[in-house]
Structure 1
Amino acid sequence: MKTLALATLLALPPMVAACADETLTGYAEGTYQLEEIDGVAFQWGATLELGEEGRISGRAPCNGYSAEQTAPYPWFKPGPIMATKMACLHMNGEAEFFEALGAMTLAEANGPVLILSNEDGREMVFRRDP
């Protein structure tokens, strides 16, 4: 069984092997608007920006944020999320957003859609700005 797995890995095109260490930024660069968390429309507005390799940033309902994200695609593992500390009317949405973002472990980039998910069945759906 191990021989078959190794043979399959060695048969991969060089391009796939070269991409193995790229983070999500290498696959889905841009700014994404959050549309829903766990199948429910997110009404407070939040973004996820993938620009600088190994980092995520964006705007939660109230505050700007950033974090390290060095897991290779398709894995997603944000480091400690640092955010500004402004108060606003949407603090519940802010807490919901940060809690969900910190729980995500997988990423699937498909055109303008980015889906973050985890093994517990949680999911965040984002759409890239035009």
Structure 2
Amino acid sequence: MLRAALLLPVVSLIQCGQDETVAAYGAGGREWVLRSIDGTEFPAFAALEFPEAGRVAGQGPCNGYSATLDVPYPWFELRDLAATRAACPDLEAEGTFFAALMAMEQSEVSGGILILRNEAGHEMLFNAVD
């Protein structure tokens, strides 16, 4: 009994370091390319990846970006979004992409498809690049 009581804190510490985000449930280790927002084909290139536990990074239509993601799957909530600041002809599409991405609240991974959605009924559909 004493041995089990001594091991409990060690096991708890090990579990604290585990990634419980969408990355650990099929989204990690892949690049995800945005196909549509709310069922409408996205007119520019935008992608996201999960490069390490608690991080999201990718390429918007004009700029690279990164953010913090530390909520457990299936929840999805980005914080501290940071992006480079280059201008390009797709700047309006980039604004749409970032606004939609920041509004997402849930995630679902099914094979090569990643769906992000929120309670307002908005949805982003991504395909894995293999």
TM-score by length of 1: 0.83
Q: How far did 1:50 drift?
A: 1.5
- 2-structure distance, mates of 1:25, 1:55: 9
Percent of counterpart pairs with the same letter?
Answer: 46
Whether 1:61 aligns to 2:55 is: no
Deviation, structure 1 residue 43: 1.3
- Partners of 2:110 and 2:51 lie apart in 1 by 17
1:25 aligned residue (23, 47, 54):
23
User: Any stretches of 5+ residues in structure 2 without a counterpart?
Assistant: 1-14
Report what 2:121 is aligned to: 121
Asked if structure 1 preserves the Cα contact closer than 8 Å seen for 2:19 and 2:53, the reply is no
CA distance in 1, matches of 2:77, 2:99: 13
The structure number with the bigger radius of gyration is: 2
Aligned counterparts, 1:16-95, within 5 A: 22-27=20-25, 28-29=27-28, 30-95=30-95
CA distance in 1, matches of 2:19, 2:33: 26
Instruction: Give 3-state SS (helix, strand or coil) of 2:78's partner.
Output: coil
Number of aligned pairs?
A: 112
The one-letter amino acid of 1:82's match is: A
CA contact (8 A) 2:38 2:122 kept: yes
- Counterpart residue identity of residue 98, structure 1: F
Q: TM-score, normalised by structure 2?
A: 0.83
Write the distance in 2 (CA, Å) between the matches of 1:51 and 1:73.
Answer: 16
Measured after TM superposition, the shift of residue 21 of structure 1 is 6.4
Assess if the C-alpha contact under 8 Å between 1:34 and 1:47 holds in 2.
Answer: yes
Extract structure 1 runs of 4+ deviating beyond 3 A.
Answer: none
Cα deviation for residue 24 of structure 1 reads 1.0
Structure 1: how far apart are the matches of 2:51 and 2:31? Answer: 8
The answer to whether the 8 A contact 1:105-1:116 is kept is yes
